[in-house]
Copies of this chain bind each other. A is one copy, B any other.
Amino acid sequence: MTHKVAILGASGYTGAELVRLIAQHPNIEIAALSAERKAGMTMAEVFPHLRHMDLPVLCKIDEIDFTGIDLCFCALPHKTSQEVIAALPKTLKIVDLSADFRLRDPAEYEKWYGNAHAALDQQKEAVYGLTEFYREEIKSARLVAGTGCNAATGQFALRPLIAAGVIDLDDIILDLKCAVSGAGRSLKENLLHAELSEGYNAYAIGGTHRHLGEFDQEFSKLAGRPVKVQFTPHLVPANRGILATVYVKGDAQAIYDTFAKAYSDEPFIELLPFGEAPSSHHVRGSNFCHIGVTQDRIEGRAIVIAALDNLTKGSSGQALQNANLMLGEDETTGLMMAPLFP
């Protein structure tokens, strides 16, 4: 059975990535693609790498007939997304890739994003979209909120450890190295090739990055008490990939064993041999997350490193994984492609 989907916001990188992935999916058909400012253009004009595909012309959202659409991916900017979703049919299955439905507490949302939430009814029914940990809820959800790409990486590196109580909850440092596509197709000076290539720098330092809202919410819920982590993202000269180097206090072997148990049946999480470190290059273009654990020379300290592709496992791949569950498909359908290396 073929499921018909719409992709709203198809002119951005996560939209294009959804199209790339769905192209390999045997049971999903793209019925509509929206892009407000580029309505009327073909995808080949906006993304020439998709020119071989037979795709709907880009349209405005209000031109879409949602009758017959089984699921809608929203790859819109945050704030826009909540307004659009509030106006969509109330029975339409939705996977939202924006930040709008990730935080359950409207006050937290307002604190991190600066505006009052405009779709509180929908927010209440939203399920947090980190598939490996919300699988059952996602299966029956109408609205799934895709996670932040940094937030996903950090959680893969920490959730089992927090749940198992094998690390000190008050001394967790996440040092992330992020590729530039995470910032989207936006015209900003620091995203220019001439500015970014050959250099790297931290940004949103000191605990100001919005994905901290997700860490706070999820880790505190998991621990049953407030947990605050330190999180410093860095922009590195690459297009795809997040590498999270996580410094924790705990026994490295116990940490490794916890991961081994937690992820033994996960199709997309690969635990490396003890002491090995993953590379962002080895997950590029795929839905896999590689995790490594190392004992530091200082007793009682360990380093956990997680790598994934921000556009795939961190965003559009996760979205398709969730859509598979919501549509009754096997979770891995269309997502088992190997990474592109070199």
Contact = CB atoms under 8 A, between A and B. Distances in A.
Contacts of A63: none
Nearest to A173: B247
A203 interface: yes
Interface residues of A, number: 86
A7 interface: no
A181 to B, nearest CB: 5
A270 B49 CA distance: 10
A185 B191 contact: no
Interface stretch (A154-162, A288-296, A323-331): A288-296
B48 A205 contact: no
Contacts of A77: none
Contact of A192 (B16, B193, B288, B303): B193
B277 A19 contact: no
A255 to B, nearest CB: 13
Interface string A317-342: 00000000000000000001111111
Contact of A177 (B234, B280, B338): B234
A245 interface: yes
A240 B51 CA distance: 19
A291 to B, nearest CB: 11
Contacts of A78: none
A152 interface: no
A241 B338 CA distance: 19
B239 A193 contact: yes
A239 B284 contact: no
A187 interface: yes
A230 B301 contact: yes
A194 B280 CA distance: 13
The 10 residue pairs across chains A and B that have the minimum distance between CB atoms: A199-B281, A207-B297, A201-B279, A194-B342, A187-B187, A49-B282, A49-B341, A49-B339, A206-B294, A20-B338
Interface of A: 13, 16, 19-20, 23-24, 47-53, 171, 173, 175, 177, 180-181, 185, 187-189, 191-203, 205-208, 212, 228, 230, 232, 234, 236-241, 243, 245, 247, 268, 270, 272, 275, 277-286, 288, 290, 294-298, 301, 303, 305, 307, 336-342
